[in-house]
Structures are given as C-alpha cells and as structure tokens.
C-alpha cells in the first residue's frame, strides 16, 4: 500500500491536445488526455516549461486567443508547480497571468519577484490524510539569466538554485519526507557516475549529494526516466510535449518506486477546447508561400550535417535579410517537419519550433574559426571511416540544435583530423577569411548567449538585436519572396 502517490508532469510546452501539430492527426499526447485518480494521500505536480513551446501557444499569441493551460491544470487538480526556463519567455507579466489563473501553488525558491506580488513560494509542507508530512521545494536552473532577455527578467531575480534550495530546506517546518521539484537535469551517467556536462546548467546529482532530498522530480532535458537513483535519492524525469507522465509511490517500507505511463490518444473536450483545436488547425493549414520543391530533413543527422540542407538554408536566408549581416548561422531542431512545396503555416511552426529572436554579433575570423571547430565536434569518425554523431550531442540529452549551418561563407571540414583541428578552409566571396577580419554574424538569441559550448560568443560586441520571433520572420519572408528561391550550393565541404 502506498503512503504517498505523486503524479508528475514536466516540459508539457503548451501541448494540450491529443493531436500532432505537424500532421494534424490524432496522437497519444496532450495534457487534456491525462486523468489522475486521487485521494487524500495523492499529490499532482508539474515541473515547469508549461506555457511555451507549441504551435498552439504561437497561435494564441498572434491571434490574441486565451490559452486554457491554467484551466487544464485546475481541472486535473494539480497541487504544486514550479517554473521552467521557457516560462520566462513572456516576461513577468506572462508568469503573473499564468499563476493568477492557477489553483496550484507555485514553488520556486530561487525566483524573487522584486515587487513581492507574484504568488511564488520557496517551499512548503503538505500534510496528507494519513498524517505524512511531505516537504516540497521548487527550483529552476539559473541559466535562465543567460538565455532570457533582460526585458523579460525585469522585476525578477533568478538566483543560484543550490544555495536557494539549501536555504529553503533549512526554513521548512518539520517533515517526514523531502521532495524536490527541479526544472533542471542530470549531469552524470547514473550507472557509471561519468560526468556528462561540465557546466552548471544541470545539477541534479549535486542536489542529491548536498541536500537531504528523498525524491527529486527533474525536467528540462526531456529524458524519459523512471526509477533513477543517485546518492540514495530517487530520481524521475518525463519526456517533453505531454506524451508521458510519471507515477511515484512511497511504500510502507519507506522506499520510492516509479514508472512512466503513456498518454491516451483521445480526450473528453469541452466545447471551448474543441473550438480552439478546430480554429488552430484552420490557421495552421493557411497558405504561407511557395518553394521550388518539398524540403525534408535527412534521417541520418550526421550525413545531413556534412552535406547541408535546404531547410536551414531557408532559415539563414531569412536571418540575413532580417539582420543585414554579412554571414548567418542557424540550426535544425531535434524534430523537424520540413516544408511542402505549397507552404502552410503548419510547415513553418513545426519546422522552426523555438521562440527565438535574433542577434547580430561582430566576430573576428578567429572567433568564426572557433565556432566552426565547435560545430565540427558534432562528427565522430569511427575506426572503419564511417561518420556518426558524437556523444556530447546525444548525452545526457539529444542536442542536434547545437550544430550550426552557416551561410555567407564556404568552409571545409577535414574529419581525418582530431577535433580542434578540423577546419581546413574558410572562404568569403572566394577569398580566405583571416583571423583579423571582422564580420557581422547573425544567430538566434540562444546561441548569442554562448549556449551549446560557444562560450567565445559572449565576449563579442552585439551590433543589433531583432526582437521578432523567428517563426514570424519566416512567414514574412515567404510572403515577400513568393515563390522563394534557394541556393544550389550549401557552402560546406567535408574531407573524409
């Protein structure tokens, strides 16, 4: 018999419906498909990244429609939530609007509202019907400060999560069990202990080592994991986009067990929810422009990175026009729908899936070479000469979005050489780029922070920022250049 049952979701990213936005067809996913049986010894918890990330969210933002995310959480009787890094994408006002409609209590010890108005608390003790006192602490990765624009953090302070959690635990009233809700991930291989990341973006293992948690509910990395353990602490994480939830039970023996459960492919929708689903699909199928051919990603990610792809060529064309920069770099997400020749809005928002804006940095030829060398670490050359994606882009989570494709230059990778010595040539307008050359390079705001092991970008002067979402820029470009022309050459060469 369970003394405590927890149902846990994280990284739902605005995916409410049992439908795939890329296809418009029914799929086993969505917060509205979830039902959690509960009694007085049950808690229902969400780990953040809840209000941003899906085409539905983008539709609501550009049309002014209200999103029933808080209502969906309320209907499922959530007790507690924490904030994820993407929940800051709409600033303090976006968080206020979300939390003001929410019945659940928001726990996030390392977020401070300078005005003291947001209902965000460090932690609490929840007493179950059976008398068990459950201590709960919420925290979010402080890399929010690197990724988010100062405008969106105005009035908010995001502090060190480890120190904030330590202080919050010390301030808790007496409790029998301590549960952490951490919007951050796991930095070590739980089987071998090998460190997978040198940064402090994800510090779940450190939290387990330095604080007296019994259970740590994690997120951010989108890794489906039940029944993990580190330093005697039970660890759980769900995949993204509401395709699974976790159930955690505390047995009479004092031990936690957990498992992940798939979400059904159907939901009982209210009239309002059904109307919203129909309206967003009409909007997604609206024509946006025309291309000379269908554009599809290659399933072999390493081959696509070596040969280039017209989808990311289009992204770079958009960035160059919007920014006026000399060169541009962009990426492909882990999941990319691609474009039909007759482009729809659905193609755009399912192919560029992040709410990124743009920045233009002044870079030297030396910095550009460093960036290309970092991109070249994407490739692993096997003993038989075959090329695969290297482990840092696969563990602890898939991060294909940290490989950039460039436009405005021609460059050659020699994969016979070890990482760090693979950039054989960089040309611009047929001439070699020198280390002392200065160029304006356009990239997404995420990359401009140095994220993805591009730390050297942080010291580069910011020439310009473009605060329009990339999805909107793509749609505008398609309409302005219909039909769109694409380059015949991707500009990349690889020596095997």
Indicate whether 322 and 461 sit together in one domain: yes
Indicate whether 260 and 132 sit together in one domain: yes
DSSP label of 446 = H
Cβ 19 vs Cβ 25: under 8 Å: yes
What residues make up the domain containing 310?
Answer: 286-495
Query: What are φ and ψ of residue 178, in 5° steps?
Result: -115, 125
Last residue of a domain, one of 277, 312, 335: 277
- Model confidence at 198, pLDDT cuts 50, 70, 90, reads confident
Alpha carbon distance 266, 27 (integer Å)? 8
What Rg do the C-alpha atoms of the chain give, in angstroms? 23
Indicate whether 204 and 226 sit together in one domain: yes
pLDDT at residue 357, rounded to an integer: 92
Is pLDDT at 1 greater than 80 in this prediction? no
Indicate whether 246 and 296 sit together in one domain: no
Indicate whether 273 and 290 sit together in one domain: no
pLDDT at residue 351, rounded to an integer: 94
Total domains in the chain come to 2
Is pLDDT at 51 greater than 80 in this prediction? yes
Alpha carbon distance 238, 240 (integer Å)? 7
Cβ 246 vs Cβ 238: under 8 Å: yes
Alpha carbon distance 113, 238 (integer Å)? 28
Strands 225-230 and 233-237: antiparallel
Indicate whether 293 and 163 sit together in one domain: no
Last residue of a domain, one of 277, 312, 333: 277
- Model confidence at 134, pLDDT cuts 50, 70, 90, reads very high
Indicate whether 260 and 203 sit together in one domain: yes
Q: Which tokens in the block code for residue 139? A: 């925290």
Alpha carbon distance 185, 378 (integer Å)? 22
pLDDT at residue 274, rounded to an integer: 95
Is pLDDT at 354 greater than 90 in this prediction? no
The CATH number assigned to the domain holding 126 equals: 3.60.21.10
Indicate whether 245 and 321 sit together in one domain: no
Indicate whether 409 and 272 sit together in one domain: no
% of the chain residues with pLDDT over 70: 100
Alpha carbon distance 113, 153 (integer Å)? 10
Last residue of a domain, one of 230, 259, 277: 277
Alpha carbon distance 183, 142 (integer Å)? 10
Residue 318 is inside which H or E element, if any?
helix 310-323
Q: Among candidates 281, 314, 334, 280, which has minimal Cα distance to 473?
A: 314
What is the pLDDT averaged over residues 234-238?
A: 98
Indicate whether 317 and 263 sit together in one domain: no
> Cβ–Cβ contacts within 10 Å for residue 414, how many?
15
Query: What are φ and ψ of residue 304, in 5° steps?
Result: -65, -40
Q: Which tokens in the block code for residue 174? A: 């007496």
Alpha carbon distance 72, 30 (integer Å)? 10
DSSP label of 134 = E
pLDDT tens profile 270-313: 999 999 999 999 999 999 999 999 999 999 999 999 999 999 99
- Model confidence at 353, pLDDT cuts 50, 70, 90, reads confident
Q: Which tokens in the block code for residue 225? A: 């994991």
What is the pLDDT averaged over residues 131-143?
A: 98
pLDDT at residue 149, rounded to an integer: 85
Indicate whether 268 and 317 sit together in one domain: no
- Helix (H/G/I), strand (E/B), else coil: 245: strand
Indicate whether 102 and 205 sit together in one domain: yes
What is the pLDDT averaged over residues 100-128?
A: 97
Residue 86 is inside which H or E element, if any?
none
- Model confidence at 197, pLDDT cuts 50, 70, 90, reads confident
Alpha carbon distance 198, 194 (integer Å)? 11
Query: What are φ and ψ of residue 348, in 5° steps?
Result: -70, -55
Is pLDDT at 418 greater than 90 in this prediction? yes
What is the pLDDT averaged over residues 370-395?
A: 96
pLDDT tens profile 451-493: 999 999 999 999 999 989 999 999 999 999 999 999 999 999 9
Alpha-carbon torsion, ordered 432, 434, 438, 439, to 10 deg: 30
The CATH number assigned to the domain holding 317 equals: 3.90.780.10
pLDDT tens profile 400-413: 999 999 999 999 99
Q: Note the Cα 70 to chain centre separation in Å.
A: 20
């Amino acid at each position: 018999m369970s003394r405590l049952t927890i149902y846990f979701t994280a990284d739902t990213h605005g995916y409410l419906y049992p439908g795939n936005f890329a296809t418009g067809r029914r799929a086993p996913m969505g917060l509205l498909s979830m039902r959690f049986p509960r009694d007085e010894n049950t808690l229902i918890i969400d780990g953040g990244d809840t209000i941003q990330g899906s085409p539905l969210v983008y539709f609501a933002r550009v049309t002014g429609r209200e999103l029933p995310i808080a209502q969906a959480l309320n209907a499922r009787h959530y007790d507690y939530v924490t904030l994820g890094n993407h929940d800051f994408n709409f600033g303090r006002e976006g968080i206020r609007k979300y939390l003001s409609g929410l019945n659940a209590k928001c726990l996030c010890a390392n977020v401070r509202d300078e005005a003291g108005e947001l209902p965000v608390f460090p932690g609490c003790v929840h007493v179950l019907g059976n008398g068990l006192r459950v201590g709960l602490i919420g925290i979010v990765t402080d890399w929010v400060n690197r990724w988010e624009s100062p405008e969106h953090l105005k009035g908010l302070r995001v502090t060190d999560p480890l120190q904030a959690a330590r202080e919050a635990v010390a301030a808790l009233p007496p409790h029998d069990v301590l549960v952490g809700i951490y919007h951050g991930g796991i930095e070590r291989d739980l089987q071998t202990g090998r460190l997978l990341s040198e940064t402090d973006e994800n510090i779940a293992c450190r939290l387990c080592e330095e604080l007296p948690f019994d259970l740590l509910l994690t997120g951010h990395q989108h890794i489906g994991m039940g029944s993990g353990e580190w330093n005697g602490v039970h660890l759980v994480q769900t995949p993204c986009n509401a395709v699974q939830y976790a159930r955690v039970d505390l047995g009479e023996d004092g031990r936690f067990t957990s498992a992940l459960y798939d979400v059904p492919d159907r939901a009982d929708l209210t009239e309002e929810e059904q109307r919203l689903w129909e309206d967003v699909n009409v909007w997604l199928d609206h024509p946006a422009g025309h291309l000379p051919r269908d554009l599809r990603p290659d399933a072999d990610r390493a081959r696509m990175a070596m040969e280039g792809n017209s989808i990311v060529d289009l992204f770079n064309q958009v960035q160059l026009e919007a920014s006026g920069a000399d060169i541009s770099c962009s990426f492909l997400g882990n999941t990319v729908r691609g474009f039909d020749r007759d482009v729809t809005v659905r193609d755009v928002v399912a192919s560029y899936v992040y709410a990124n804006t743009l920045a233009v940095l002044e870079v030297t030829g030396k910095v550009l070479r460093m960036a290309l060398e970092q991109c070249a670490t994407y490739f692993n050359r096997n003993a038989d000469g075959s090329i695969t994606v290297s482990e840092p882009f696969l563990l602890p989570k898939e991060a294909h979005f940290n490989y950039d494709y460039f436009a405005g230059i021609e460059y050659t990778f020699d994969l016979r050489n070890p990482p760090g010595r693979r950039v054989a040539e960089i040309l611009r307008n047929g001439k070699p780029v020198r280390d002392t050359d200065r160029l304006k390079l356009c990239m997404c705001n995420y990359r401009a922070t140095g994220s993805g092991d591009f730390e050297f970008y942080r010291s580069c002067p910011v020439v310009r920022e473009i605060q329009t979402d990339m999805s909107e820029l793509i749609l505008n470009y398609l309409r302005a250049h219909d039909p769109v022309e694409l380059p015949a050459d991707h500009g990349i060469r690889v020596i095997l």
